Structure 1
Amino acid sequence: MKSNYSPLVIALLAAMSSTAYADEKNPQKDETDIERVLITASPIKRTVLESSTPVTILSGEELDQNQAATLGDTLKSVPGVHSSYYGPVASSPIIRGLDGPRIKVVQNGLGASDASRVGPDHQVSTETSTATQIEVLRGPATLLYGSGAIGGVVNVVDNRLPTQRQEGVSGEVFAQYDNVADAKTLSTDLNAGSGDFAFHIDGYTRKTDDYKIPVPADIDEDGGSTTLTNSDIDASGYNLGAGWITDDMRVAFSYGHMDSDYGLPGEEGVFIKLNQDRYQGVVDWNNLDGFIQAVHWQNAYTDYEHSEIEGAEIGTTFKNESIESRLWAEHAPVYGWKGIVGLHYNHSDFEAIGEEAFTPPTKTDSIAAFLMEEKKVGSLLWQVGTRVEQSTHDVDNDFFTALSSSNSVSFDDKDYDAVSGSAGVVWSINDRHSLAFNYAYSQRAPSASEIYAYGPHIGSGTYEVGGGFELSNNAGQYSVVQSNESMDKEVSNNLDLTYRYTGDTWNANVSIFNNDISDYVFESFTDLVISDGAFISSADYENQVAVSGEPDDEADGLPVVLFAQQDARLYGYEAQVDWHLNDDWRLEVFTDYTRAKLDSGGNVPRIPPMRVGSSVHYEYGNWHTEVEVIRNAKQDKIADNETSTKGYTMLSASANYYLDLGDVDMTIYIKGDNLTDQEGRVHSSYLKDEAPLPGRSVSLGVRARF
């Protein structure tokens, strides 16, 4: 369906000119300002330069330039961060080769609480078009966020919880059209206040058709459609917030709702219908007298549901109802050490209902205490912390009644005690050079899906068997039985070394890391496939298909994977250099690489390849232009039963024109992606052989801030 946003945009811009509150922000900000922005994901106020762990912050013009429909695509050019890419909607971040239950996605500091950590075909329930800042913490961040952050954290920050007083009205309107999928996006963000009260409202809508592709979707086909079937989107959402803010106290509350209907590429006729309601609140007590100087309390309640629909029938419905609360206090310095101490509680009631449900209903509760401290000694800033966490999985055993061995399957509640700690130091060598080192010891309790999964997971194209089971072989007849051994905790020993240089004309940031993980959980291919409810060898299945033809049941032929544990090592680097050639020209170069090996031999599956990128920026008057080239190398360091992926190069270019309309700062832009119409397949994607990246695209947009 065609949409025309022009009248709405014009009306909104007209309203701005009469009621707008002046915004002094210059869109063409200094590139080094980003390193002085506070990291809101850290409870101890610090900037990027003061962090012993690698951090990247996208905000302002840099966020505008990288903004995409999904969180994964928005961050895909950040060093060390890749995208899982399950089509244009379900695309979540991969940090240093780790994703899923090892990466915590949070909204304003608290978990997104969706189903994206369970399956790659599930959308991350955050919206980038209304975000003001996105923070990426690379490496373990378990001290504040729990064992689910053993690989890193992505914090999406917006204005739904007002942080400061203001008089009058300010805000933003954004509209974009992209020809690759006839995509239309519109978002608005309004903030108002009077006295000690502040208010916020935002909303967005996004609608696309199937996107165009430069080659046939199936890698083995020579001809076919020039669009990717079932890659369309119809999404919308809004957030309401209010706050009472004084010099010593802040109380803020928000409500948000989102709806999203999107297709699953590779599964013709299958689409997901998603909705979520989220309530979030915060209370800050500041400037307290005595040993406790400030107290902060964050709370969130999320009600999430999505249904996977085939034709007119619902195949599976996923529900997740969660409550999260974090309370912490800032204390006065003790022998020069300042910091925070706190408690963190999380409850999740997750269930999958339907014929294709592959995980049982599970209630998970966790409670933790944490401590984070830092001390400045000369040119050294020392940072230490620890966290003690207990989590419990309470599984509904009725789910397993379909098993032939159902009489012997009964899981007791599983309790895990996880201890994490870190120690780091930032050495400010002088005003330009700094060196940061951090060691983190982290433990992660296996997720419920890693333990209890049993059934066809259409999204990943596998038949999953959790680590709570094992495959029994009786004279060539395979069956699934409950394992006598429990899955162990993952234990990570991670080392980070980061060099930072901030100069007059150029800046550099280089990080190297080594992460040794004991009892690393991964999906091990078994060389078995599912056929009419039975497990047979892949060779026998191929012979069966040759004789009888392709089966009608979409689960038949899925490879059987078993969640296994082995020791693993992940190591690599990220590097980025910005060079201001003169007042008009700037050059940026970046590269990243992650190598992931199992100690017993072989490679960890779906690890992104090495990447090298460069961009040239030119500013003249009100114009800002950019040309970017990113090379993704071939990935041939692959796991058993995994295929290699060819390398590809993406060329993009953009031009922005800035207009000062008094109380309104407007940006009009044109942007082209994949200008050479190259075939690109994301190695970390489960759909890499069925869903190439979009072909050549041109987008037009306007953004107005007032």
Structure 2
Amino acid sequence: MDPNTLLGAELLAALPRIEASSTDPGRTAARPCSASVRRRAGRVLATLALALPALALPLSADTSGASNTDATASTADATAPAPTPTPEPAPDPNAPASDPKASEDSKSSEELPSFFATTTVTALGREADSFEVATPVTVLRALEIERKAPNNAADLLRDEPGVDVNGVGPNQSRPVIRGQRGLRVLFLEDGLRLNNPRRQTDFGEISGIVDVSSVETVEVVRGPASVLYGSDAIGGVLNLIPKNPGPRNGRPVGGTFDGRYGDAGDSTRLSANIEGRTGDFDFQVGGSWRDASDYDAPAGTFGDITLDQSVPVVDTGVQDDSFWGSFGWQANDRNSLRLRFNRYRADQTGFGFVEPDQFESTEDFRIRILYPYQQFDRYTLGYSGSALETAVADSVDARVYFQKNRRELVNDIDIDIGPIAPGFPNSSVEANSLNYTNLETWGLRTEVIKVLGDDNLLTYGFEGYRDDSFNTDASTTTTTIRFPFPPFQAVDLSTDEVPNAPNAKNTSWGVFVQDEIPIGARFRVTAGLRYQNVATRAEATPGWDTTGLDFDDDSVVGAVTATWQITDTLNLLTSYGTAFRSPNIIERLFNGPTPEGAGYQILNPNLKSENSDNIDIGLKYRRRNAFFELVAFRTEISDGIVQYFLSPEEQSALPPAVQEAIANSGASFVVQQRNAEKLRYEGIEAAIGYRFDFGLTLGGNFTTIDGKRLDSTNPPTGDTYSDKIVGYARYEAPNGRWWSEYRFRHNGSQDVNLDPNEPAPPVGTELPAFTVHTIAGGVNLFERAGVTHALQLTIDNLTDELYAEFSNATFFRPEPGRNYAASYRIRF
């Protein structure tokens, strides 16, 4: 009998016994405070104490700060073209003497626009100056996206404060924010959800489904954002703001063509777009095509792993393409409609791995995870109304969307189970499975802004969506028992076509309200509240008894932020917010071999939503040619969903049919998603930048993060860095003709996150520190008849270091060695 047929009876009855036995009396609670964080904080604050006086000095030669609306600057990295100097009026000889610093600080930001100025639409749900927003946010604009030439949006985050990257290859990267990844990070396009309820906890939707060529701005909100965006926004939000057709300056159409080659994986990428405007109508259409092979990792040592020569990282290549567009109609000065579409197609790619025989692996299994194809389509129709001046609304934004996400997942797992008796050759299990998933989503989001009084902004709205998930699974398990005598081996072949999770509908809706309240001229408070209901209904599925598997939960979350403008150049900020995340279909209902390893997961229909509390406190300093930010945060997640490794005693309490299925799969461990008592994350994020008036910009950022699970000695942050330091130097020619850049990133070492019942990975029990260096530059070659030709060159991993991003290290997936990339861009 298949174990899934027991889900309404024997297995469900056994779950309370299993959970009751999961408490280990030998575990001690972690200390409530982190000494390591306090030590790191002391080092950072000492450094900043030296840096702040330098930033506060009068800058007598500060004439470089004319703002450019096309400039690119982030809180950690500015890539704007050299601004045009703004002449200052001659001083009045009869004017009384004054303190030059006080005089400069008293000038408004309009008189002294900052080279580092950015705006955000994600943090408050409307366009706002990032300097005036209490929520920590990173903004990367179009020029910086072009210069960094990322494979996908998540690749842009490697050098930013408080963030990290998970996954390898051109299209498989995913964001990590403040130690949270996968489903604890909300992925948005233009404020609309892209998170996939069929993904696993640690592996959210890939950012590659949105073509970076279609993106105007990448925004990262660090910290909870559930008030505005609902479930999953615990660690933060990655929001990709799409391009809109711009002013044509008398030309009916314009566009770009970009050709790019990189020797990492022999990668070729072509992209193009065209846009135009006629009367009340505008359009923009673009697309890209990419072909990349598996790249090579260099020789070297990383932890306990040594590669004697460069080796391929298998399944990191891909052939994919995107097609996207936007069509707008300006009905009048107040009302407009816009239709957007996005189509993405990817052929076979994979999770990525190095063949075990390429290094001295201690593991007795080989795992290959493939995605034969992925297809994503989204269509969005939006209405925007402004200057409405009605009793309930001054502006309205309403969008309805439909998206379809189809993919196949293949797991090929070869396990050496050792000899069945002394002197016998090793026996083996080969488990091959194929999963097909079709997820269709309908969604609606409305946002309304009403100005109350002179400067009180009230935002409220509704958001709802429904996911309809259909999936099939087919698996073949081949067990080979070997003997030292005839018949020498016996082979047992078994097949199973029962899905590992039932078909299901996931429905969610919520209402939210947010009020921005000025208190005097220099103090501003923003308070918000949201109610959200989430329900999952398991549907009839062959081989499943879905009795008792439905889920219904509601949550109320809130947030309060405050900004105190001490001077025109210095803001103090603080925020407190709560967030939540409802368990998805896979976390609650998946029952079978784990997709990411030689394990077996048993379902947990009693899984609850996890909730978080977050506190931020910090400051933002920004003047015409300098900026500095410092934020300390503490996040606590209650009922945090973690992957729990069952002990042998707990496995023996499972129903016999489940134990048989586990044995037949060859799994070396058994896991279950469970609610932990509490997870705590603490950290500090700092960023600094200085722009000299001759075109040189220096800057960098620092992040330290520490996490603990308060009901266990098992830390939850073992797959991200403990400390990260980023530095850069960039020169831009005063005439804007060319630019060059050097940057480095150093990740400090980190202990591996190991459950008491989890085996140590090949890399060892500590993830080693690494440093990566990059140089890049670009030049505008020539311009003829309004057509500009530009060339860009990049050398990444300059020292050819063997390393893996920490979330890719335990399942060893290293980054490419030294690699070169060139781009040729034509703009008209």
Smaller-chain TM-score range? Answer: 0.7 to 0.9
Q: Provide the rounded CA distance (Å) in 1 between the counterparts of 2:800 and 2:283.
A: 45
Instruction: Show the counterpart of 2:611.
Output: 491
Please tell me the residue identity of whatever aligns with 1:362. A
Please tell me the residue identity of whatever aligns with 2:743. E
What SS class does the counterpart of residue 129 from structure 1 fall into?
A: helix
Instruction: Show the counterpart of 1:664.
Output: 787
The structure-2 alpha-carbon separation of the partners of 1:683 and 1:76, relative to structure 1 and needing over 3 Å to count, comes to same
Asked whether 1:212 is paired with 2:290, we answer no
What SS class does the counterpart of residue 135 from structure 2 fall into?
A: coil
Bigger relative contact order, structure 1 or 2, given CA contacts below 8 A and separation 6+?
2
Alignment of 1:312-351 (within 5 A): 315-333=434-452, 337-351=456-470
The structure-2 alpha-carbon separation of the partners of 1:335 and 1:664, relative to structure 1 and needing over 3 Å to count, comes to closer
Alignment of 1:248-327 (within 5 A): 248-264=334-350, 265-266=352-353, 267=367, 270-291=370-391, 292-309=393-410, 315-327=434-446
Asked whether 1:699 is paired with 2:821, we answer yes
The structure-2 alpha-carbon separation of the partners of 1:431 and 1:147, relative to structure 1 and needing over 3 Å to count, comes to same
Please tell me the residue identity of whatever aligns with 1:670. L
Unmatched 5+ residue regions in structure 2?
A: 1-67, 72-79, 84-112, 354-366, 413-431, 476-498
- Whether the aligned pair in 2 keeps the contact of 1:397 and 1:410 (CA below 8 Å) is no
- Whether the aligned pair in 2 keeps the contact of 1:177 and 1:185 (CA below 8 Å) is yes
What SS class does the counterpart of residue 251 from structure 1 fall into?
A: strand
The structure-2 alpha-carbon separation of the partners of 1:222 and 1:434, relative to structure 1 and needing over 3 Å to count, comes to closer
Structure 1 residues 110-119 or 564-573, which shifts more?
110-119
Q: How far off is 1:496 after superposition?
A: 0.9
Q: Provide the rounded CA distance (Å) in 2 between the counterparts of 1:170 and 1:41.
A: 31
Unmatched 5+ residue regions in structure 1?
A: 1-22, 469-485, 542-552
Structure 1 residues 329-338 or 136-145, which shifts more?
329-338
Q: Provide the rounded CA distance (Å) in 2 between the counterparts of 1:193 and 1:308.
A: 42
What SS class does the counterpart of residue 149 from structure 1 fall into?
A: coil
More strand by share: 1
Please tell me the residue identity of whatever aligns with 2:176. I
Instruction: Show the counterpart of 1:627.
Output: 742
Q: Provide the rounded CA distance (Å) in 1 between the counterparts of 2:228 and 2:505.
A: 22
The structure-2 alpha-carbon separation of the partners of 1:684 and 1:165, relative to structure 1 and needing over 3 Å to count, comes to same
Instruction: Show the counterpart of 1:506.
Output: 626
Higher gyration radius (CA): 2
Q: How far off is 1:645 after superposition?
A: 1.2
What does the per-residue CA deviation read over 1:612-644, in whole Å, with 9 as the maximum and x for residues that have no partner?
A: 111111233522111111111111163323642
Please tell me the residue identity of whatever aligns with 1:626. E
Q: Provide the rounded CA distance (Å) in 1 between the counterparts of 2:575 and 2:591.
A: 39
Instruction: Show the counterpart of 2:279.
Output: 195
- Whether the aligned pair in 1 keeps the contact of 2:299 and 2:306 (CA below 8 Å) is no
Alignment of 1:37-48 (within 5 A): 37-39=119-121, 42-48=124-130
The structure-2 alpha-carbon separation of the partners of 1:25 and 1:558, relative to structure 1 and needing over 3 Å to count, comes to same
Instruction: Show the counterpart of 1:11.
Output: none
Instruction: Show the counterpart of 1:544.
Output: none
Q: Provide the rounded CA distance (Å) in 1 between the counterparts of 2:657 and 2:272.
A: 50
The percent identity for this pair of structures is: 22
Instruction: Show the counterpart of 1:472.
Output: none
Instruction: Show the counterpart of 1:376.
Output: 518
What SS class does the counterpart of residue 276 from structure 1 fall into?
A: strand
Please tell me the residue identity of whatever aligns with 2:573. A
The structure-2 alpha-carbon separation of the partners of 1:70 and 1:526, relative to structure 1 and needing over 3 Å to count, comes to farther
Q: Provide the rounded CA distance (Å) in 2 between the counterparts of 1:180 and 1:284.
A: 43
Instruction: Show the counterpart of 1:448.
Output: 585
Find the partner of 1:240 among 317, 321, 325. Answer: 325
- Whether the aligned pair in 1 keeps the contact of 2:338 and 2:383 (CA below 8 Å) is yes
Find the partner of 1:518 among 628, 634, 638. Answer: 638
Q: Provide the rounded CA distance (Å) in 2 between the counterparts of 1:237 and 1:340.
A: 34
Q: Provide the rounded CA distance (Å) in 1 between the counterparts of 2:327 and 2:562.
A: 39
Q: Provide the rounded CA distance (Å) in 2 between the counterparts of 1:234 and 1:52.
A: 42
Instruction: Show the counterpart of 2:424.
Output: none
What does the per-residue CA deviation read over 1:549-575, in whole Å, with 9 as the maximum and x for residues that have no partner?
A: xxxx8x523532221212111110111
Please tell me the residue identity of whatever aligns with 1:618. Y
Instruction: Show the counterpart of 1:28.
Output: 81
Q: Provide the rounded CA distance (Å) in 1 between the counterparts of 2:518 and 2:378.
A: 39
The structure-2 alpha-carbon separation of the partners of 1:492 and 1:335, relative to structure 1 and needing over 3 Å to count, comes to farther
Q: Provide the rounded CA distance (Å) in 1 between the counterparts of 2:823 and 2:255.
A: 17
Alignment of 1:107-186 (within 5 A): 107-114=189-196, 117-118=199-200, 120=203, 123-124=206-207, 125-159=209-243, 168-186=252-270
Q: Provide the rounded CA distance (Å) in 2 between the counterparts of 1:227 and 1:181.
A: 9
The structure-2 alpha-carbon separation of the partners of 1:24 and 1:222, relative to structure 1 and needing over 3 Å to count, comes to closer
Q: Provide the rounded CA distance (Å) in 1 between the counterparts of 2:114 and 2:597.
A: 41
The structure-2 alpha-carbon separation of the partners of 1:50 and 1:79, relative to structure 1 and needing over 3 Å to count, comes to same
What does the per-residue CA deviation read over 1:316-355, in whole Å, with 9 as the maximum and x for residues that have no partner?
A: 1122100111112222305853221111111111233112
- Whether the aligned pair in 1 keeps the contact of 2:178 and 2:705 (CA below 8 Å) is yes
* Aligned-residue CA RMSD (Å): 3.0
Find the partner of 2:547 among 390, 407, 410. Answer: 410
- Whether the aligned pair in 2 keeps the contact of 1:651 and 1:674 (CA below 8 Å) is yes
What does the per-residue CA deviation read over 1:479-529, in whole Å, with 9 as the maximum and x for residues that have no partner?
A: xxxxxxx32321211001131111234211111110111111111223569
The structure-2 alpha-carbon separation of the partners of 1:467 and 1:116, relative to structure 1 and needing over 3 Å to count, comes to closer
Please tell me the residue identity of whatever aligns with 1:282. G
- Whether the aligned pair in 1 keeps the contact of 2:293 and 2:318 (CA below 8 Å) is yes
Q: How far off is 1:298 after superposition?
A: 1.2
Find the partner of 1:676 among 799, 807, 826. Answer: 799
Q: Provide the rounded CA distance (Å) in 1 between the counterparts of 2:603 and 2:456.
A: 44
Asked whether 1:596 is paired with 2:678, we answer no
Q: How far off is 1:400 after superposition?
A: 6.0
What SS class does the counterpart of residue 661 from structure 1 fall into?
A: strand
Q: Provide the rounded CA distance (Å) in 2 between the counterparts of 1:110 and 1:560.
A: 36
- Whether the aligned pair in 1 keeps the contact of 2:300 and 2:802 (CA below 8 Å) is no
TM-score (norm 2): 0.73
Structure 1 residues 168-177 or 417-426, which shifts more?
168-177
Q: Provide the rounded CA distance (Å) in 2 between the counterparts of 1:74 and 1:86.
A: 13
Structure 1 residues 100-109 or 117-126, which shifts more?
117-126
Q: Provide the rounded CA distance (Å) in 1 between the counterparts of 2:572 and 2:790.
A: 38
What does the per-residue CA deviation read over 1:348-404, in whole Å, with 9 as the maximum and x for residues that have no partner?
A: 112331126543322111111100110222201211110001110111363663xxx
- Whether the aligned pair in 1 keeps the contact of 2:617 and 2:631 (CA below 8 Å) is yes
Q: How far off is 1:424 after superposition?
A: 0.7
Asked whether 1:394 is paired with 2:537, we answer yes
Q: Provide the rounded CA distance (Å) in 1 between the counterparts of 2:804 and 2:248.
A: 47
TM-score (norm 1): 0.85
What does the per-residue CA deviation read over 1:23-58, in whole Å, with 9 as the maximum and x for residues that have no partner?
A: 995761559455332425642331211211111110
Instruction: Show the counterpart of 1:608.
Output: 720
Q: How far off is 1:281 after superposition?
A: 1.3
Instruction: Show the counterpart of 1:3.
Output: none
Q: Provide the rounded CA distance (Å) in 1 between the counterparts of 2:469 and 2:704.
A: 35
Q: Provide the rounded CA distance (Å) in 2 between the counterparts of 1:461 and 1:198.
A: 53
Q: Provide the rounded CA distance (Å) in 2 between the counterparts of 1:703 and 1:500.
A: 36
- Whether the aligned pair in 1 keeps the contact of 2:503 and 2:541 (CA below 8 Å) is no
Find the partner of 1:556 among 663, 666, 671. Answer: 666
Please tell me the residue identity of whatever aligns with 1:234. Q
Please tell me the residue identity of whatever aligns with 2:745. I
Please tell me the residue identity of whatever aligns with 2:334. D
The structure-2 alpha-carbon separation of the partners of 1:217 and 1:277, relative to structure 1 and needing over 3 Å to count, comes to farther
- Whether the aligned pair in 1 keeps the contact of 2:510 and 2:533 (CA below 8 Å) is yes
Asked whether 1:569 is paired with 2:683, we answer no
Find the partner of 1:360 among 502, 506, 518. Answer: 502
